[in-house]
Chain A
Amino acid sequence: MRGYLQELNKYRGLFWMLTYRDVKVRYKQSLMGFMWAILMPVLVVVSGVGVRYAYALAAHRLLNKADVASVAVKALPWAFLVSSIRFSCNSLLSNQNLVTKIYFPKEIFPLAAVMASLFDLFVASGALLIFLFVMQVGWSMQLLWVPLLLGTIVVLACGIGMIVSAAGLFFRDVKYIVEILLTFGIFFTPVFYDTRMFGDQGKWLLLNPVAPLLESLSACVTHQQPPDPGWIAYSLGFAMTALVGGHLFFKHLEPAFAESI
């Protein structure tokens, strides 16, 4: 374990370099530059607000500001999770020449992909802060939960990223399966809706490990209410299991990467 961490530390520079490369390449030559980081969340927010507006019409209520803010708060981490899984899934295949030609711990690829997506999240968060300010959302000490919640999402993304990148190397159609799951995932995750809307049945939706995290973020950022620690612990446990399991899975397959790619 210790030797492994030492080795990882040795390749720290490479990890940051690859992250830097991914970020740089994404922003270079793109028409919108940094707007790119905001585009995806903005699309999710706009469609979410549309859906929310339809709910409100159907229920004969007015759409309140808190609902809109809540969609925005949940859309960003979701967009991060989707893009980090998507990028890490391709990370080994798109760096094929490095995988077969140069030695270093290969988990650097999916992890750097997650890190580059995290950079997008930070850029988008800046825009979100302005948006929340305009919407006159207040703040409270509950915001202290945010780093833990975001951290859990990052851990989850790393775990899933390692699994799908290794699996994607051996089976080329994993990429498409992941793509489909990510596209439809938004229907099973409370981004556009709240689990409360389902009444007592809502707790089944919380079994999706991403759901408690998004709900908690919405609670502590837009409603200034304490999140449910039990469900956070559940998500955290799930994320840690994904990280450890994903790492074991990745390391188990790693020796065969160069020959199988």
Chain B
Amino acid sequence: MADVALRMEHVYKKFRKGEMFNSLRDLVPALTGRMFQRQGLAGNDQREFWALRDVSFEVKYGEAFGIIGHNGAGKSTILKILSRIMKPTRGSMVVNGRLSALLEVSAGFHPELTGRENIFLNGTILGMNRREIESKLDQIISFSELEEFIDTPVKRYSSGMYARLGFSVAAHVDPEVLIVDEVLSVGDHMFQQRCMERMSSILKGGTTVLFVSHNLKAVSELCSRSMLLRKGEVAAIGETDSVVRHYLKDAQEAGDGDESKPVYVSDVKVSDETGERSTFESGQTAWIDVEVTAREKVQKLAILLWIADEKQYQIFQTSSEVLGHSRFCLDPGESYRCRFELSLNMGQGTFYLDAAIGRFDIQKVYDRKTPAATVFIRSTSAVRGAVNCFPKLTEAEMVLDSRLEERHA
């Protein structure tokens, strides 16, 4: 197939846990011991584990493909295999085109060299030739906003400056296939914004991008298709929106193990008129269904709902009780469902919905899901900030001198 940029077929990767012999001093006695005892290192087989198991996927030219998963799910291993740093234990992979991997943007920096020298060094490491770097030098420097310090050794840089220079070099490599690992989490908010913009423009230029991140917002903004990894296996693959939802559900189920709670939040769904979803336009109406289930007999219950922003700061709270619904009682095994209608007047960003079940009179919270759901707010208009106040410009005119004089008089 000519339109495939990247493909992995049934890739397995095995690692060994525990310490290996890394000095001759340890190895020689171990080998001698084995010769005499005939078992010695036999325990080794149990120390193996599979970092990847039967991973297959393909990415088409010009597509942005996201990989998400918890720590240790095998994301970085996939990138290392694709960039040929590691060999798969089994399976095969194909990469068509010049590949550039930004696994760690400042990996090639040498602290003693100046910013300018490091641009050349790192640019070469990332696969550019000297002439290419020279032609892009000004662009790179101005993107990094380090004009003043460009001839200072990078050991004097702050970590933010370091990372900014690293990303600036990396962002100006023009590969056909770009592998990006968590590099967007550098610098301050403004710089991150610029990084995202740069990524989008790289994408528009027809580059195939493989994007790995914990930042779900970035993944869902950039990638049309995604893959969810769970313990080295592909748990879901397809539209980013549904894969992200799958991931969040995963995170939620991890906390369900506690059997001691008399009543717990058993299900939370976020939907609009078309059905369940996680991405909304700013100001759109959303329905949040919260279902609670009782294990024991509980009384005078109320369902609570919070919204928190990216920094876990609570920006909104409501409950079934303050909305006028009377307290309810549940017998063991019974479930109760509430539907909240919210208009999501937040600005662009990621927001977390927390749901809880509790009693107001004795100030007790039986169970709380944090986060129960995650929503991404998109805003097409020129609105910035945490809330959308739906601004309109109603009047705009030049203030005339005569009127000013009148006012002063």
Contacts and interface: CB of A to CB of B under 8 A. Distances in A.
Among the interface residues A21, A28, A101, which one has the most CB atoms of the partner chain B within 10 A?
A101
A188 interface: no
Contact of A258 (B80, B112, B125): B80
Contacts of B87: 255
A200 interface: no
Given A28-B112, A101-B104, A172 B22 contact: yes
Interface stretch (B29-37, B113-121, B303-311, B379-387): B113-121
A29 interface: yes
B23 A259 contact: no
A24 B116 CA distance: 13
B80 A102 contact: no
Given A24-B113, A28-B112, A101-B104, A171 B24 contact: yes
Contact of A25 (B27, B104, B112): B112
A21 B24 contact: no
B86 A255 contact: yes
B269 interface: no
Contact of B85 (A24, A101, A171): A101
B315 interface: no
A228 interface: no
Contacts of A241: none
B124 interface: yes
Interface in B79-121: 80, 83-87, 101, 103-104, 107-108, 110, 112-113, 117, 120-121
Interface string A163-182: 00000001111100100000
Interface string B1-24: 000000000000001000011111
A255 B27 CA distance: 21
A127 interface: no
Contacts of A207: none
Contacts of B85: 100-103, 258
Contacts of A255: 86-87
| Interface size of B as a range | 20 to 34
A14 interface: yes
Contacts of B130: 13
A19 B83 CA distance: 24
Contact of B124 (A17, A29, A100, A177): A17
Contacts of A102: 83, 85, 101, 103, 107-108, 125-126
B129 interface: yes
Nearest to B13: A259
A101 B25 contact: no
Contacts of B20: 260
Interface in A9-26: 13-14, 17, 21, 24-25
Q: Which of B83, B87, B108 has the most chain A CB atoms closer than 10 A to its own CB?
A: B108
A90 B107 CA distance: 17
A174 B107 contact: no
Given A14-B125, A172-B22, 7 more contacts: A14-B124, A25-B112, A98-B107, A101-B85, A101-B103, A102-B83, A259-B86
Interface of A: 13-14, 17, 21, 24-25, 28-29, 97-98, 100-104, 170-174, 177, 255, 258-260
- The list of the 7 closest CB pairs from A to B, nearest first, reads A17-B124, A101-B107, A173-B23, A103-B84, A97-B107, A101-B103, A255-B87
Interface of B: 15, 20-25, 27, 80, 83-87, 101, 103-104, 107-108, 110, 112-113, 117, 120-121, 124-126, 129-130
17 contacts: A17-B121, A28-B113, A29-B112, A98-B125, A100-B85, A101-B85, A101-B103, A101-B107, A102-B85, A103-B85, A104-B125, A171-B23, A171-B24, A171-B27, A177-B24, A259-B86, A260-B22
